[in-house]
A and B are shown apart, each in its own frame.
Chain A
Amino acid sequence: MKYRLIFRIAYSLLLARWKQTLVAAIGVTFSITMFITLLSFMSGLNDLLDGLILNRTPHVRMYKEIQVSKKQPIDYIQKATQGHNFIKSVKPKKDRIDIYNSEQIIQSLKKDTRVLGVAPKITAQVFFNVGSIDLTGSINGIDTEEENRLFKFSDYVTSGNFMDLKNVPNSIILGKGLATNMMVNIGDVVQVTTSKGEQFSLKVVGYFQSGLQDLDKVQSYASIKTTQKLLNQSENYITDIQVKLKDILWAPPTAKEYQEIYQIDAIDIQKANSQFETGSSVRSLISYAVGITLLIVAGFGIYNILNMLIYEKMDSIAILKAVGFSGQDVNLVFITIALSIGIFGGSLGLLGGFGLSSLIDQIPFNTESLPTIKTYPINYNPKFYMIGGVFSIITTYLAGYFPAKKASTIDPVIIIRGK
């Protein structure tokens, strides 16, 4: 009963200045719309840029690093009872760079419930022979099907069929930049020299475009078998094991665990690509700051209009108090007005934000380096809508708080006697 009466009074005061009220509500609508659009767009862009690297990067990469032995020979013969050993000019030892027991490691990784998939890989440094010139490059030997399932390989193969890598013997998919430099087309044969000096002919079955130009100028893909043949190695020669987990956040502890179990180097995606994380968080921070500033400006608009309303309705407030409405009732009336503006403007803003971001989602966005992207990226995360909604209510409440407090302390005697 009491709240119904308060609502009724608030409603009639709202309607009394409906034009100003509408302007205030539009202010909120505009800021929420921009807030949602900005965050959706920025976050879509972040996802796109992160995806450029992160989608193609294994969550945990296991490999063998060429490095200095941790225990030098002297450590074996002399127990360090007193003094220290100083060894100068330590060099890395000659060691195999393939992973020992790779077959067993892959089998055991596949049984781990946290693992989404495992893809073996071989990296080989080669020279591409074009006439009298040699171009440096690298060939990644991949398990075509697994690579596609886990790292969306087919998305980046812009011409040719990626499965030909498996089906056509001695085939290669070249980076677009590399193919252009060498002036080769699909179906042509390229000459490759390995680091050990052996020559090899490979048939080009496709181009790939990663979005990173520098990468496309040196990278190429072949099947694992072809690469092993190229390097003249046996069937269990593997240099990298790429693991994709069910949750990217599990990567750091899992990497550490694998390192201990299998006694090889393992690096997690967060460590390998920490710069992306930083970039994304700074970009989101900026969008939040801009969005919140917009909302605060809208809040000042509401504050102004409520203040004006109070001066205008001083008589009404005084008489309400004279006939028995308490300061708290008057306070509630103005808070209700502010919140109604916030809720009305805010919900329209959420709809507007959704509309505007859907519109941006339709705008064509074609770029040479991003073959899979056709329109501007938008992230429709419900989190943004929730933050926007909550924030519109909080700011309008704060904007209403001080005017409402002022209205509640109006002394009716001064107003009534003043006439």
Chain B
Amino acid sequence: MKSTTVLEAQKISKYFHDPVTIKILNEVSFSLQSSEFVSVIGKSGCGKSTLLYILSTMDTDYEGEVIIDGMSMRGKKEDELARVRNEKIGFVFQFHYLLNEFNVLQNVMLPGLKLGKYSEQEIEHRAYEKLSILGIKEEAFKMPNQLSGGQKQRVAIARALINEPLLIMGDEPTGNLDKKNSEIVFHIFEELAQVYKQTLLIVTHDNEFADRTSRIIEMEDGQIIKM
């Protein structure tokens, strides 16, 4: 399979102004090829999460360039960025962030319905498919608060997968989970990378997790020291 550049960061700098101006990211540049499974590690406060949110287009206050799928994100309007997130990026956060008002299946379907590329039946079918890949098909009609922490995180992963994104980003996706559930989630990521050739960019401080990914980017004081 021919690899293409999915994501490119060019000299990204970011300042925090409160209470005093601190340069949190200093000209960070790297690129991500398709079907890579990359982890970003570093100590707390080194700017790895900040970098992730800039790359995810949610944070627009930065210097430098973010190029996703060959398109520069600079100068895009808020609704255009929302569209990019919807279509090309899947998110998994430390906390699951499921909507308690919707059942599991509806939560997974939500980004698909927003994209509106397929009919509702088709999206429902795909949502089932994702849930069964993640082994939680039986929970489809439960409400999020009836699930265990590990199950919730798997629903969140299913939600991230529904639009078949170019890239999945994770911000400490195992940070809130116990050893056993972390292992399950890691295996899911591994399977996605190897079987489905999914590109993954995961921020973590769990070195054990990082060691098992295909590429590690290590950060310190707002700079990449190893990649």
* Interface positions of A (Cβ within 8 A of B): 1-2, 5, 12-13, 15-16, 315-316, 318-329, 411-413, 416-417, 419
- Bound-state CA distance A328–B80 (Å) is 11
Asked whether A12 lies within 8 Å of B101 as measured between CB atoms, the reply is yes
Report A19 CB to chain B, min CB distance, Å.
Answer: 15
Contact with A along B189-204 (1 / 0, CB 8 A): 0000000000000000
- Bound-state CA distance A318–B58 (Å) is 10
In chain B, positions 87-136 with a C-beta closer than 8 Å to chain A are 87, 91, 93-95, 97-102, 110-111, 113-116
Task: Name the residue of chain A whose CB is nearest to the CB of B97.
Answer: A319
Contacts of A323 in B (CB 8 A): 85-86, 91, 110-111, 114, 159
Contact with A along B146-165 (1 / 0, CB 8 A): 00000000000001000000
- Bound-state CA distance A210–B97 (Å) is 75
> What is the interface residue range for chain B against chain A?
20 to 34
Asked whether A5 lies within 8 Å of B87 as measured between CB atoms, the reply is no
Q: B211 near A: Cβ within 8 Å?
A: no
Report A260 CB to chain B, min CB distance, Å.
Answer: 69
Asked whether A5 lies within 8 Å of B114 as measured between CB atoms, the reply is yes
Contacts of B91 in A (CB 8 A): 322-323
| Extra 13 A-B pairs, beta carbons < 8 Å, given A315-B97, A318-B97, A413-B53 | A1-B113, A2-B114, A13-B101, A16-B100, A319-B98, A323-B111, A324-B87, A327-B79, A416-B95, A416-B97, A416-B171, A417-B49, A419-B94
Which secondary structure characterizes the binding site on chain A? helix
Task: Name the residue of chain A whose CB is nearest to the CB of B90.
Answer: A323
Asked whether A316 lies within 8 Å of B99 as measured between CB atoms, the reply is yes
Asked whether A2 lies within 8 Å of B116 as measured between CB atoms, the reply is yes
Asked whether A413 lies within 8 Å of B59 as measured between CB atoms, the reply is yes
Asked whether A1 lies within 8 Å of B83 as measured between CB atoms, the reply is no
Whether A15 touches B78, Cβ cut-off 8 Å, given contacts A322-B91, A323-B159, A413-B58, is no
Contacts of A318 in B (CB 8 A): 97
Asked whether B94 lies within 8 Å of A326 as measured between CB atoms, the reply is no
Contact with A along B51-94 (1 / 0, CB 8 A): 00100101100000000000000000011001101110001011
- Bound-state CA distance A259–B87 (Å) is 81
Asked whether A324 lies within 8 Å of B94 as measured between CB atoms, the reply is no
Report A5 CB to chain B, min CB distance, Å.
Answer: 5
What are 7 residue pairs bridging A and B, where the CB atoms are less than 8 Å apart in the complex? Answer: A12-B101, A319-B97, A321-B82, A322-B58, A328-B79, A413-B58, A416-B53
Report B63 CB to chain A, min CB distance, Å.
Answer: 17
Task: Name the residue of chain B whose CB is nearest to the CB of A2.
Answer: B116
Report A255 CB to chain B, min CB distance, Å.
Answer: 64
Task: Name the residue of chain A whose CB is nearest to the CB of B91.
Answer: A322
Asked whether B102 lies within 8 Å of A12 as measured between CB atoms, the reply is yes
Report A326 CB to chain B, min CB distance, Å.
Answer: 4
Contacts of B86 in A (CB 8 A): 323-325
- Bound-state CA distance A321–B91 (Å) is 11
Whether A419 touches B95, Cβ cut-off 8 Å, given contacts A15-B101, A322-B58, A323-B114, is yes
Task: Name the residue of chain A whose CB is nearest to the CB of B85.
Answer: A324
- Bound-state CA distance A319–B115 (Å) is 15
Report A412 CB to chain B, min CB distance, Å.
Answer: 5
